[in-house]
C-alpha cells in the first residue's frame, strides 16, 4: 500500500523538480556569470574555474549605483503616491453614491483595455509641452516619469482596492461614526488597517512595475545621470560599454536586491493584515 502511494506521488514530485530547475537555473547561471573571470557566456561552465569580484567593482566606475538610486526614488515615490490616491478614490467609490459614479468606474475599466504602448507618443508630447511651463515635470526628469507612472497605475488599482473595500462591513464605520469619529477618522483608523493586504499588493505591484520598466523610461530619460536601473542595464549589451555580459550579470544581481528586500519586508505585513481583517458579526 505504501509502495503504491509512493509511486502515485512520483509524477507530482517530478513535475515540481522540473519547475524548480527551470526557475532557478537562470538565477544560478547569472550568479555564475557575475563571478566568472572574463565576459563571455557561450561555452562556459556553470561553476566557474576562476572566481572574481571584478564585475561588481566595475559597476561603481560607470555610475550604476546612481541608476539604482534613481530607480528607488521613482519606484518608492510612485508606490507611496499610488497607495495614497488610490485608497482615497477607492474608498469614495465603495462608500459614497454620487452623480457619474457608474460611468466613472466604466471609464476606468475601459482605460485598461488599451496597451500602454499606444499612449507613448501622447505621453511624450504631453511632457514636452508641460516642460515648457513647469520644467521639473517635463522630459528628462524623474518627477515627470513619476507623474506618468502614477497616472497609468491608478485605474486598475482603484478597481482592485474598491473590491476589497466592498468586502469590509459598513457596520464598523457606522459604529465609529456613532462614537463621534469623523468620516476621515473612520477611514484611516478602521478601514485602512483592515485593508493592509490590498495596500501591500498595490504597493508591491506599483514598485515592481516602475522599477523594472524599460520602454517608457527610455523614451523620457535621455541624460545618463538620470537613467533608471532598467535603462542603464541595457547599456551593458547595447554597445555603449561594449558587450559586457559579466558586468551585465553583476548589475542584474545587485539590481534585483531591492525587490527581494521589499518582498521579505512586506511578507509579515500581508499576513498580519489578513489576520486583522477577520471580522466576526
- The enclosing H or E element of 126 equals helix 120-133
In contact, 111 and 155? CB cutoff 8 Å: yes
For cell 511578507, name the residue. Answer: 267
Yes or no: domain 61-276 corresponds to CATH 1.10.3720.10: yes
In contact, 85 and 150? CB cutoff 8 Å: yes
Which three cell numbers, joined as nine digits, stand for 67?
Answer: 541608476
Q: pTM here? A: 0.85
Domain residue spans of the chain: 1-52, 61-276
Which has more confidence, 105 or 74? 74
* HSE value, Cβ hemisphere, 13 Å, CA-based, for 237: 15
pLDDT tens string 100-159: 888 988 888 887 777 777 888 888 999 999 998 998 899 999 999 999 999 888 888 898
The pLDDT value recorded for residue 144 is 93
Sign of the dihedral defined by the CA atoms of residues 159, 160, 163, 168, in that order: negative
The pLDDT value recorded for residue 4 is 58
pLDDT tens string 179-227: 888 888 889 888 888 888 888 888 988 998 899 899 899 999 988 889 9
Confidence of residue 262 (pLDDT cuts 50, 70, 90): confident
CA distance linking residue 261 with residue 263, whole number of Å? 5
For cell 469614495, name the residue. Answer: 92
Amino acid at each position: 500500500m505504501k509502495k503504491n502511494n509512493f509511486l502515485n506521488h512520483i509524477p507530482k514530485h517530478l513535475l515540481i523538480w522540473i519547475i524548480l530547475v527551470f526557475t532557478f537555473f537562470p538565477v544560478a547561471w547569472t550568479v555564475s556569470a557575475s563571478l566568472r573571470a572574463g565576459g563571455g557566456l557561450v561555452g562556459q561552465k556553470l561553476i566557474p574555474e576562476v572566481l572574481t569580484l571584478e564585475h561588481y567593482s566595475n559597476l561603481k566606475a560607470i555610475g550604476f549605483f546612481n541608476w539604482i538610486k534613481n530607480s528607488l526614488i521613482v519606484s518608492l515615490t510612485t508606490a507611496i503616491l499610488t497607495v495614497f490616491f488610490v485608497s482615497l478614490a477607492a474608498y469614495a467609490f465603495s462608500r459614497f453614491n454620487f452623480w457619474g459614479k457608474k460611468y466613472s468606474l466604466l471609464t476606468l475599466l475601459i482605460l485598461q483595455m488599451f496597451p500602454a504602448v499606444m499612449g507613448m507618443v501622447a505621453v511624450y508630447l504631453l511632457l514636452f509641452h508641460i516642460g515648457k511651463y513647469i520644467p521639473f515635470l517635463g522630459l528628462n526628469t524623474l518627477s515627470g516619469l513619476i507623474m506618468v507612472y502614477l497616472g497609468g497605475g491608478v485605474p486598475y488599482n482603484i478597481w482592485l482596492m474598491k473590491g476589497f473595500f466592498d468586502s469590509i462591513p459598513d457596520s464598523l464605520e457606522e459604529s465609529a461614526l456613532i462614537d463621534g469619529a469623523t468620516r476621515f477618522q473612520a477611514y484611516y483608523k478602521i478601514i485602512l488597517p483592515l485593508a493592509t493586504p490590498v495596500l501591500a499588493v498595490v504597493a508591491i505591484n506599483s514598485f515592481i512595475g516602475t522599477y523594472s520598466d524599460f520602454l517608457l523610461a527610455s523614451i523620457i530619460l535621455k541624460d545618463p545621470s538620470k537613467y533608471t536601473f532598467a535603462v542603464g542595464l541595457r547599456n551593458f549589451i547595447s554597445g555603449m560599454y561594449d558587450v559586457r555580459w559579466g558586468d551585465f550579470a553583476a548589475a542584474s544581481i545587485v539590481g534585483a536586491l531591492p525587490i527581494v528586500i521589499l518582498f521579505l519586508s512586506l511578507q509579515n505585513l500581508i499576513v498580519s493584515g489578513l489576520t486583522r481583517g477577520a471580522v466576526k458579526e
